[in-house]
Amino acid sequence: MKYKIIFFITFLIQSLYAQQVEFKAEVSKNQLGANERLRIEFSMNKDGDNFTPPNFHGFTVVMGPSQSISKSWINGVSSFSKTYVYILEPKTKGNFTIGQASIEIDGRTYRTNPITITVTDAVKTPTMEKNSNDYAREGLFLLTEISNPNPYLNEAVIVTYRLYVGRGIAVNNFQELNTPKYPEFWSQEIRANDYQVEERTYKGQVYRTVVMRRKMILYPQKTGSITLEPLNLNVLLTAPTGQRDFFGGLVYESMERKVSSGSAVINVKPLPEQGKPDNFSGAVGDFSFAVNLTQPTLKANESTQLKIEISGNGNFKLFDLPKPNFPSSLEVYAPEQKDDVLPSLNSGMKGRLEQTYTIVPEYKGKYPISGLSFSYFNPKTQKYETVKTNDLWIDVTEGPTPNSDTTANELTTAPKTLGGLQMNADLQDIHTSVFFGSTSYYLWLLLPLLLIPIALIWWHIKMQRASDIEGNKVRAANRLAKKYLGEAKRKLGDKGTFYEALERALHNYLKAKLKIETTEMSKDKITELLLNQKASEATVTQFMALLANCEMARYSQHHTDASMEKDFGDAVEVISALDKQVKNK
């Protein structure tokens, strides 16, 4: 009897213990569409080991297993819960059975019950069990915003990159993985000091957006469809996992994700041929044009200046100013150009371009300077517009006239004689050598004959140089490069004037060395030409960096006298290096 009581108590204790352990499987739904997801949880009320999931036949595991544990102690009673979670996606329609999962708890093996799942046709509004990757994929993306996807040739296009961040996602940091190139455009980069954060609505959803500091002003240089390279970012973020903690709060996961702006397309329209003026030089925008004389009335050998000014917004660096015609009797010096052009995110390049001719008249008189005309294409009106100026006159009130040279009267007096004696005879020493008939006499006599072929050769060389338009441009650009380099050295300490002169020196050096026009000066074109002419990559990189630094330094507040001296030294060094590496053809 005693043994029966002990056996009964042992059996009762084991039964009570067995009743206390729970290991079960639960699904979010027993029937779902082929385009939906299924959430299955395996939970236990006591910790165990060697958890073995079932074979999810007919399903793909898109997330899991994720594990959560919770413990509590309430009114002296403890509780424990441990859960394994899987997110499944059906492979096809049909009826499927999810088999038993098993786990060992205190040396015993426990199993869940099998679960039958029915997968139907795809539904119109699927309910999806999302994980952190789903939230990140749907709530984080980068877009390229183009101000005008259908511009005219040489019309400004503003490109902005904007990162969209959905609710529930926190961006911790990001980094640019590449630098897009724009080979079919003249480009000007604008880099802001700070990121701009604002709310935007996209496809009916509200997002927080971050505007990248890289913004581009592009002027297309060819017509047709042009594809922009994408900008790629590596983003560190925190996204919800779709699970909740013991207190019901969302569980978040830190992750890394790469996003791309995609390949945006710009369709460039050609400029219309109808109505195109003969003097059109490629200016596209909205401009005003003026020509003025600083001093229309003056004296001979005094100076006056003719100023040609174009202001407004448009492709300032891609066209030439009209050239005036001066009377041949006026001495005119090479023009000095002043650029006061700044990038604008509203209209592209905006500002003023001025050329100044210094004129010195030699003779008295009135000299006409014919009026100039400037033609440009206005994208707003979609028409060519021409601005003409009136004729100007230079009135020289005092000075010699061109035909005032006169020959002084020659006065001769008959020699006075007395009888046969010449009173003022010019007597000379008999030992004095006579010039007439001497060697020197014949040399001087032949000298004009020797000078004639020399003069002909000089005249021939002069005519050749005059007809060598390309060579004259190169020599003029070389002179200007030396001039502006000297001016930059004199202006050390004056940041604005220094970098303006240094940039002109570099531009004119390129025109002389590469024999290209201003309209051809894109970063990629300059790099290509220098490399083709055997310049080293290091020298080309240094030159392009210096050129970019000149453009940015005029608008930066962080350049000191020391940095200006360094930039000047770098300019002299890189020009010297290019002179050795690149040989003029």
- Render pLDDT for 333-371 as a digit per residue (tens, 0 to 9): 999 999 999 988 888 899 999 999 999 998 999 999 999
Contact in structure between 158 and 216 (CB atoms under 8 Å): yes
Name the CA radius of gyration of the chain, rounded. 44
The pLDDT tens digits for 535-559 are 888 888 888 888 787 777 766 666 6
At residue 240, the pLDDT reads: 82
User: What is the pTM (predicted TM-score) of this model?
Assistant: 0.50
Q: Of the given ranges (10-19, 59-68, 87-96, 231-240), which has the lowest mean pLDDT?
A: 10-19
pLDDT of residue 152: 96
User: Among residues of the chain, what percentage have pLDDT more than 70?
Assistant: 82
Average confidence score pLDDT of the chain: 82
- pLDDT on residue 124: 80
Of 176, 170, 174, 177, the residue nearest 254 (C-alpha):
170
For residues 454-483, give the mean pLDDT: 68
Supply the pLDDT for residue 405: 46
Higher pLDDT, 306 or 47: 306
Question: Cis ω on the peptide bond leading into residue 149 (within 30° of 0)?
Answer: no
| Range 507-510, long-range pairs (CB < 8 A, 24+ positions) | 508/477, 508/478, 508/480, 508/481, 508/484, 509/477, 509/478, 509/481, 509/575, 509/578
Q: Which of these ranges, 78-92, 173-187, 440-454, has the smallest mean pLDDT?
A: 440-454
What pLDDT was estimated at residue 66? Answer: 76
Amino acid at 264: A
Strand partners for 33:
120
Q: What 8-state DSSP symbol labels residue 284?
A: B
What are the b/e assignments for 334-345, b being 16+ CB within 10 Å? ebbbebebebee
pLDDT value of position 555: 61
387-to-229, 291, 308, 309, 321 alpha-carbon distances in Å: 39, 11, 13, 12, 13
Among 188-192, 328-332, 353-357, 501-505, which stretch is predicted with the lowest mean pLDDT? 501-505
Q: Answer whether 182's CB lies under 8 Å from 228's CB.
A: yes
138-142, 201-205, 468-472: the lowest-pLDDT one: 468-472
Q: How is residue 253 written in tokens?
A: 């996961």
> Does 532 score more than 80 pLDDT?
yes
- What distances in angstroms separate CA 2 from CA 6, 8, 12, 483, one per listed residue? 7, 10, 16, 121
pLDDT (tens digit per residue) in 106-165: 889 999 999 999 999 888 877 666 677 777 878 899 999 999 999 999 999 999 999 999
At 418, the pLDDT band (50, 70, 90 cuts) reads very low
Strand (E) or helix (H) holding 547 = helix 537-553
Q: Output the six-digit token pair for 390.
A: 């009136």
Rounded Cα–Cα distance for residues 503 and 509 (Å): 10
3-state secondary structure of 419: coil
Higher pLDDT, 416 or 288: 288
Quote the tokens at residue 429: 């020493």
Bridge partners for 82 per DSSP: 44, 69
What is the reported pLDDT for 417?
39
Contacts of 126 (CB under 8 A, 6+ apart): 33, 35, 36
Query: DSSP 3-state assignment of 39?
Result: strand
pLDDT number for residue 557: 60
Under the banding of pLDDT at 50, 70 and 90, the label for residue 74 is low
- Does the pLDDT of residue 193 top 90, yes or no? no
Query: Quick one: which of 512, 495, 515, 508 has its CA closest to 568?
Result: 495
Report d(CA 52, CA 32) in Å as an integer. 25
What is the number of other CB atoms lying within 10 angstroms of the CB of residue 432?
Answer: 7
Check residue 569 and give its pLDDT: 84
- Classify strands 205-220 and 157-165 as parallel, antiparallel or unpaired: antiparallel
172-183: average pLDDT = 91
**Rounded to an integer, what distance in angstroms lies between the CA atom of residue 177 and that of residue 173?**
13
Residue 375: pLDDT band by 50, 70, 90 thresholds?
very high
What gap in Å lies between CA 399 and CA 301, rounded to an integer?
8
Per mean pLDDT, which range of 3-12, 76-85, 202-211, 223-232 is the poorest? 3-12
Asked if residue 140 lies in contact with residue 235, where contact means CB atoms within 8 angstroms, the answer is yes
pLDDT at 42 exceeding the cut of 80: yes
Which has the minimum average pLDDT: 328-337, 350-359, 443-452?
Answer: 443-452
Helix, strand, or coil (residue 455): helix
Residue type (1 letter), 98: I
Question: DSSP assignment, residue 7?
Answer: H
**Burial class for 102, CB neighbours closer than 10 Å (0-12, 13-18, 19+):** middle
Per-residue model confidence (pLDDT) at position 406: 34
> Which pLDDT score, from 0 to 100, does residue 420 have?
44
Give the CA distances from residue 407 to residues 362, 400, 411, 414, in Å, rounded to whole numbers and listed in that order. 20, 15, 12, 22
Residue 207: is its pLDDT beyond 70? yes
Q: Percent helix, strand, coil in the chain (nearest 5)?
A: 25, 40, 35
Higher pLDDT, residue 267 or 168: 267
